[in-house]
Amino acid sequence: MSSTIDFEPGVTELSTSETLPGQLSEVVRQSLPKHVAIIMDGNGRWAQNKGMPRVIGHKAGVKAVRRIVSVASQLGIESLTLFAFSSENWRRPDKEVTLLMELFFNVLQREIKRLDKNQVKLNIIGDISRFSSRLQSQIIKAQEQTQHNTGLVLNVAANYGGRWDIAQAVQKLAEKVESGEINSSQLTEAAINQHLCMQNQSEVDLMIRTGGDYRISNFILWQAAYAELVFTETLWPDFDEKAFHHSLAIFASRQRRFGLTGSQIEEIQAL
């Protein structure tokens, strides 16, 4: 764990031993979430605030992705799930959608070696069938190349919608009922869970949304059922290590009760 992780040399050239002490308190480090999900919002406004076209904001957003992947990886967080393109984002102007697709393709092509070298396992979640065949092949190639990696699991949500995810899980189960493999009484919460994206990963503990809006925008609906929510005004391209640490500190300060009372939780913790 002491090796340098070079996701973006010069910007995030941080070794674990240099980064952690003093920046994250021991309390926060002892209470890190296993699974963090982020709605990376605010790219367009970031660029527009600077009098630049929105696409510049998306490009700056990619740099923020590199930074946060690097930090999450060094902290030993198990899974990081990033909302990159929603099933509703097709409604944007054609030009912006085309640019986003192009950017996605280029980033996959350019970053995969570095992700692989840093033991990151890439997993694209969403309905990729709507993407061009060129992009689909790139996605499959990138996933295959990193599938045996044992470090951070990086889920990138692309053409993803929380409702789609639940519907596709139910559809798979319905097919099993139809074929007689299971009966309808086996269509339980646990069964649905097993057919959702990210079914083998830890539950989402912390969900962050940048960009100042207070909504979920059809991101992971089922998986975030008990996630702690952190909303920040910071626009995604400005979300840096310090901002991430701040969100982790907020997470560490929360009491997760899962339906119990505060005193019950204290009793359990005292055991």
Residue sitting closest to ligand IPE (CB): 44
Q: Dihedral (C-alpha) 72, 75, 79, 80: value to the nearest 10 degrees?
A: -20
Nearby residues of 56 by Cβ (< 8 Å), 6 or more positions away: 47, 50
Which SS3 state, helix, strand or coil, does residue 52 take? coil
Q: What is the total count of residues that contact ligand IPE (CB under 6 A)? A: 17
What does the block give as tokens for 21? 């002490």
Query: Where would I find the beta strands (DSSP E) of 10-56?
Result: 14-15, 35-39
Pick the closer one to Mg ion by CB: 117 or 215.
215
Which of 142, 208 has the CB closer to Mg ion? 208
**What contacts 226, CB < 8 A, 6 or more positions away?**
203, 256, 258
57 annotated among ligand-binding-site residues: no
Q: What is the dihedral of CA 65, 68, 74, 75, to 10 degrees?
A: -140
Consult the annotation and say whether 67 binds a ligand: no
- Is 165 designated active site? no
Closer residue to ligand IPE in complex, CB, 33/57 = 57
Interacting span for Mg ion (CB under 5 A) from 34-42, 52-60, 133-141, 164-172: 34-42
Q: Are strands 14-15 and 4-5 parallel, antiparallel or unpaired?
A: antiparallel
H helix and E strand count, the chain: 10, 8
Pairing between strand 14-15 and 121-125? unpaired
89 is catalytic: yes
Distance CA 85, CA 102 (A): 13
Nearer of residues 7 and 239 to ligand IPE, judged by Cβ: 239
Q: Which residues contact 48 (CB under 8 A, 6 or more apart)?
A: 54, 57
Of 37-45, 52-60, 143-151, 255-263: span binding Mg ion (CB under 5 A): 37-45
86, 118, 232, 247: which one contacts ligand IPE (CB under 6 A)?
Answer: 86
Is position 229 an interface residue for ligand IPE (rule: CB under 6 A)?
no
Among 32, 69, 75, 84, binds ligand IPE (CB under 6 A): 84
Q: Which stretch binds ligand IPE (CB under 6 A): 4-12, 41-49, 178-186, 238-246?
A: 41-49
> Does 41 interact with Mg ion (rule: CB under 5 A)?
yes
Query: What, of Mg ion, ligand IPE, none, does residue 43 touch, CB below 5 to 8 Å by kind?
Result: ligand IPE
d(CA 88, CA 218): 9
Of the candidates 89, 149, 193, 218, the residue annotated as catalytic is 89
Binding residues for Mg(2+): 41, 228
Binding site for Mg ion (CB under 5 A): 41
Binding residues for substrate: 42-46, 54, 58, 86-88, 90, 92, 209, 215-217
- Active-site positions read 41, 89
Binding site for ligand IPE (CB under 6 A): 39-45, 83-86, 89, 100, 211, 213, 215, 217
